[in-house]
Structure 1
Amino acid sequence: MNEGIAQRLRGAASEGPQALRLSLRELLQLHGEGSGAVLLMLMALLSTVPIAGAGTVLSLGIFALAGAWLRGRDTLPLPERLARLTLNETWTRRCLHGLAWTYERAERWMCPRWQALCHARARFWWALWIALMAALIFLPLPLGNVLPGTSLMLLSLGWLFRDGIALLLSAATGAVGVGYAISVGHLAFAAWQHMGTWFGL
């Protein structure tokens, strides 16, 4: 199944330039399904792309998906504003090839294991994790979207392949992202204090 998705994505990337401005809705349609895990992976990937304002919009969509997971739902109607989010030609091509590469490697390396982490009872905790990563993406930190976005991509692949090791890697990557956010916040606070001292405030 995933090899077929990879072929469709590479086929779309090889079409003429006029076809290389895809929206999130069109990327989802290329997958042939609209599961929550697939939608999460697409939103996580797009959150790492340097598009002005995209991180804010996508983080809200990820929050909504986390709420759906908390309620035990695996799908989420795509809000129109989010569905219309469109990449330029360069980033459309890169995302299509990147997604194809990701599916090909996942098909090779991932398999059902440590499935207790993929159990329905674990959905609550993973939903909270998704919400935490969405909060990090929402914050205006330099390169702050990369680690939480990667964490969510690993989570979605782990859920799709029922691979608990991928879920653990998701948690580890996200934990580094949390540490990065705390470090940047600490530096910003220290700089603010230093400026206050310098200006005699």
Structure 2
Amino acid sequence: MHDGLAQRLRQAATRQAAPTQTATPLSLRELLHLHGEGSGAVLLLLMALLSMLPVAGAGTVLSFGILALAGAWLRGRDSLHLPERLSALHLNPRWSQRCLHGLAWTYERAERWLRPRWQALCHHRTRVLWGLWMALMAALIFLPLPLGNVLPGTSLMLLGLGWLFRDGLALLVSTAVGAAGLGYAISVGHLAIAAWQQAGAWLGW
């Protein structure tokens, strides 16, 4: 199934590599259409990937989308009606091509490495815990930290893949990566507070 999806994504990337006058920006809505489904796990995977790209304002907008999806998961729903502003979020042709190739590579590797195991972690009773985890990662993505989107975004991508493939090991790796992202955010926060206090001492505040 995912081999065919990877092929569709690479074909779409080839179209993005066409001359500028024929290439069109790729939106989140079109990415979902290429997948042929709009499940919560797929949407989470896409929003997490886009949140890590160096596109101005994308992380902020997508953090709210991820938070809304987390709320849907907490209510037992596996889908989310995307607001127009979020679904219309688009990339320029160069980043569209890179994103499509990255997704194709991700699915190809996931097909090879991931499989159903430790499925107790994918049970519907764990949805509340994963919904809370998604909300925490969305909060980290929202924070204006240098490279602060990378670890929480990777964690959410692994969460989406783990849920798609019913692979509990991928979910555990997701928590490890996200915990590293949380540690990074706390460390940067401590450094910022220490720098502020030092500046205050120099200025006699």
Deviations 1:161-200 (A, max 9, x none): 0000000000000000000000000000000000000000
Match among 66, 69, 76 for residue 65 of structure 1: 69
How far apart, CA to CA, are the structure 2 residues paired with 1:192 and 1:50? 28
Counterpart residue number, 2:172: 168
Alignment of 1:87-126 (within 5 A): 87-126=91-130
Match among 47, 50, 53 for residue 46 of structure 1: 50
Q: Which amino acid aligns with 2:2?
A: N
How far apart, CA to CA, are the structure 2 residues paired with 1:156 and 1:79? 20
Match among 85, 88, 92 for residue 84 of structure 1: 88
Counterpart residue number, 2:185: 181
**Structure 1, unpaired ranges of 5+:** none
> Number of paired residues?
201
How far apart, CA to CA, are the structure 2 residues paired with 1:90 and 1:174? 28
How far apart, CA to CA, are the structure 2 residues paired with 1:101 and 1:46? 15
Counterpart residue number, 1:28: 32
Alpha-carbon distance, 1:90 to partner: 1.1
Q: 1:25 touches 1:84 (CA, 8 Å); kept in 2?
A: yes
Q: Which amino acid aligns with 1:6?
A: A
Counterpart residue number, 2:10: 10
Q: Secondary structure, in 3 states, of the residue corresponding to 1:14?
A: helix
Q: Which amino acid aligns with 2:119?
A: Q
How far apart, CA to CA, are the structure 2 residues paired with 1:183 and 1:90? 34
Q: Secondary structure, in 3 states, of the residue corresponding to 1:133?
A: helix
* Root mean square deviation of aligned Cα: 0.7
How far apart, CA to CA, are the structure 1 residues paired with 2:81 and 2:40? 10
Deviations 1:123-156 (A, max 9, x none): 0000000000000000000000000000000000
Alpha-carbon distance, 1:19 to partner: 3.1
Q: Which amino acid aligns with 2:4?
A: G
Counterpart residue number, 2:159: 155
Q: 1:20 touches 1:93 (CA, 8 Å); kept in 2?
A: no
Match among 131, 146, 166 for residue 150 of structure 2: 146
Alpha-carbon distance, 1:89 to partner: 1.1
How far apart, CA to CA, are the structure 1 residues paired with 2:204 and 2:57? 36
Q: Which amino acid aligns with 2:204?
A: G
